Amino acid sequence: MSYFEKVNKVEFEGPQSTNNFSFKYYDPEKVVNGKTMRDWLRFSVAYWHTFTADGSDPFGAGTMIRPWGHLTGLDLAKARVEAAFELFEKLDVPYFCFHDVDIAPEGSNLKETYANLDIIVAQIRDYMKTSKTKLLWNTANLFTHPRYVHGAATSNHADVFAYSAARVKKGLEIGKELGAGNYVFWGGREGYDTLLNTDMKLEQENYARFLQMAVDYAKEIGFDGQLLIEPKPKEPTKHQYDFNVATSLSFLQKYDLAPHFKFNVEANHATLAGHSFQHELRVARINGMLGSVDANQGDQLIGWDTDEFPTDLYSTTLAMYEILKNGGLGKGGLNFDAKVRRGSFDPNDLFLAHIAGMDSFAVGLLVASQLIQDRVFDDFIVNRYKSYTEGIGLDIVEGRADFHTLESHALTLSQIPNESGREEHLKSILNQYLLKTLTEV
């Protein structure tokens, strides 16, 4: 049975192609900077947005027309798996991701929920025997159900803490069974809405205890995937503890958890935190903590996580710049934590949206790799900091300077020759590289 009968396997046809169901820039076998596009980009489909979500929003009902939409319960869950592997194969996408509740319905108690999960995980495992698509990461949804109203690991209620631990325990077991490359913690309810009822200190300590127990359990069962924290400053909670990469890193360091975790950086979460996507990737990268990416984009005019498919070529280029500088994403990937707009309700839009996102990141890869190869920004930056390679600057970075020697040096200065940072010029070079790459493909 086919769910997307009218869509054939999507192939690279180049920018001249008029076939909407083809890649214009993403050429999986093309070698860029020593690796294939497929291996640099490591695309992943997010199960929740593509197979589970129905397009409902706080003001309106679901709009999505889905070939599995008439089913319920486990039948629905099974049909989604079938549809998912059909889409993975037609897009030739190497990875996918899911939350436990995306793949199987919750039962009336934990045992029933486990039983439902076991049925669907077995079905997924069967598909994975012959499919090329692997599991990038899975996670436990610790935010939708009313029990998480006051948080999960940071709930005021110890039973919720225990229940959440059970779900993560099961999640790690599923991750191991399906060979997941990573396991994600996104704490949508780990934070507070008002300090008037919140013991922030206890909540944060409990969160650290929870993560340590997860580390211990992963080790106990031999789960060798990378554990990832996905920061987000707010939404649904007013203030989330994993606010951004820098805040989360300090938290991990304080509790000696940093060696066990990396970050899953999401573009729209970066902008919600008042940062650029590139900023968050850079902070993670320079600290050796860049694990994986939730590839999407927000909307400048809307103040929440719109999770749009990434089409902004500046953003994909600067993201790929960081990823290339990182030497790639290791076990991570570019997961389209992105949803088609409510008005894009046709099943074909699922393909067209992924094609748009994949082509946009392929362009980003091409442009970024050229920028790096030509040392466009590198040379500029090296030159900009050259005062640290000699004299007093070298004394500073090599630890020979103190306030006495610095004052003596300062007293000899008459005028300090600052130079222009050339921001506009650098941006115009970026434009040139973008346009040049686009015409050369």
Largest Cα separation within the chain, whole Å, is 81
Pattern 86-115, ligand XLS, x by CB under 6 A = -------------x----------------
Give the residue with the Cβ less far from ligand XLS, 190 or 266.
266
Say if strands 261-266 and 226-229 run parallel, antiparallel, or are unpaired: parallel
Which residue matches tokens 């996102």? 357
Give the residue with the Cβ less far from ligand XLS, 99 or 170.
99
Give the residue with the Cβ less far from ligand XLS, 167 or 232.
232
Distance of CA 223 to CAs 47, 215, 220, 265, Å? 22, 10, 8, 22
What is the spatial distance between Cα 26 and Cα 370, in angstroms, rounded to a whole number?
16
DSSP string for residues in 248-275: HHHHHHHTT-GGGEEEEEEHHHHHHTTS
Pair of tokens at residue 346: 């046709």
Catalytic residue among 27, 49, 99, 279: 99
In one letter, which amino acid is 28? P
Give the residue with the Cβ less far from ligand XLS, 281 or 363.
281
**Contact partner at residue 241 from Ni ion, ligand XLS, none, CB < 5 to 8 Å by partner kind:** none
Instruction: Specify whether the CB–CB gap between 55 and 63 falls below 8 A.
Output: yes
Pattern 298-317, ligand XLS, x by CB under 6 A = -------x------------
Give the residue with the Cβ less far from Ni ion, 231 or 347.
231
**Contact partner at residue 139 from ligand XLS, Ni ion, none, CB < 5 to 8 Å by partner kind:** ligand XLS
Tally of CB atoms within 10 A around 145: 15
Pattern 241-280, ligand XLS, x by CB under 6 A = -------------------------x--------------
Contacts to ligand XLS from residues 131-150, by CB under 6 A: 139
> Is there binding between residue 230 and ligand XLS (CB under 6 A)?
yes
Is the bond preceding 347 in cis, omega lying within 30 degrees of 0?
Answer: no
According to CB under 6 A, which one of 100, 337, 353, 368 is a site residue for ligand XLS? 337
> Is there binding between residue 232 and ligand XLS (CB under 6 A)?
yes
What is the spatial distance between Cα 314 and Cα 318, in angstroms, rounded to a whole number?
6
What is the spatial distance between Cα 37 and Cα 30, in angstroms, rounded to a whole number?
6
100 is catalytic: no
Distance of CA 325 to CAs 83, 231, 289, Å? 36, 21, 13
307 among the known binding-site residues?
yes
CA 143 to mean position of chain CA atoms: 18
Catalytic residue among 102, 242, 279, 359: 102
Calculated CA dihedral for residues 41, 47, 48, 51, nearest 10 degrees: 130
> Is there binding between residue 100 and Ni ion (CB under 5 A)?
no
346 among the known binding-site residues?
no
Segment interacting with Ni ion, rule: CB under 5 A, options 11-19, 56-64, 192-200, 289-297: 289-297
What is the spatial distance between Cα 195 and Cα 191, in angstroms, rounded to a whole number?
10
Pair of tokens at residue 125: 């495992």
> Is there binding between residue 305 and Ni ion (CB under 5 A)?
yes
Among residues 334, 297, 327, the alpha carbon closest in space to that of 313 is found at: 297
What is the spatial distance between Cα 182 and Cα 335, in angstroms, rounded to a whole number?
12
Which residue matches tokens 């698509």? 133
102 is catalytic: yes
> Is there binding between residue 203 and ligand XLS (CB under 6 A)?
no
Least Å distance, CB 290 to Ni ion, is 15
**Contact partner at residue 184 from Ni ion, ligand XLS, none, CB < 5 to 8 Å by partner kind:** ligand XLS
Number of residues that bind ligand XLS (CB under 6 A): 10
CA 274 to mean position of chain CA atoms: 17
DSSP annotation of 233 reads S
> Is there binding between residue 293 and ligand XLS (CB under 6 A)?
no
Number of residues that bind Ni ion (CB under 5 A): 4
269 among the known binding-site residues?
yes
Give the residue with the Cβ less far from ligand XLS, 85 or 186.
186
Residues tagged active-site? 99, 102
The contact set with ligand XLS (CB under 6 A) reads 99, 139, 184, 186, 230, 232, 266, 294, 305, 337
Enumerate the known binding-site residues.
230, 266, 269, 294, 305, 307, 337
Enumerate the known binding-site residues for Mg(2+).
230, 266, 269, 294, 305, 307, 337
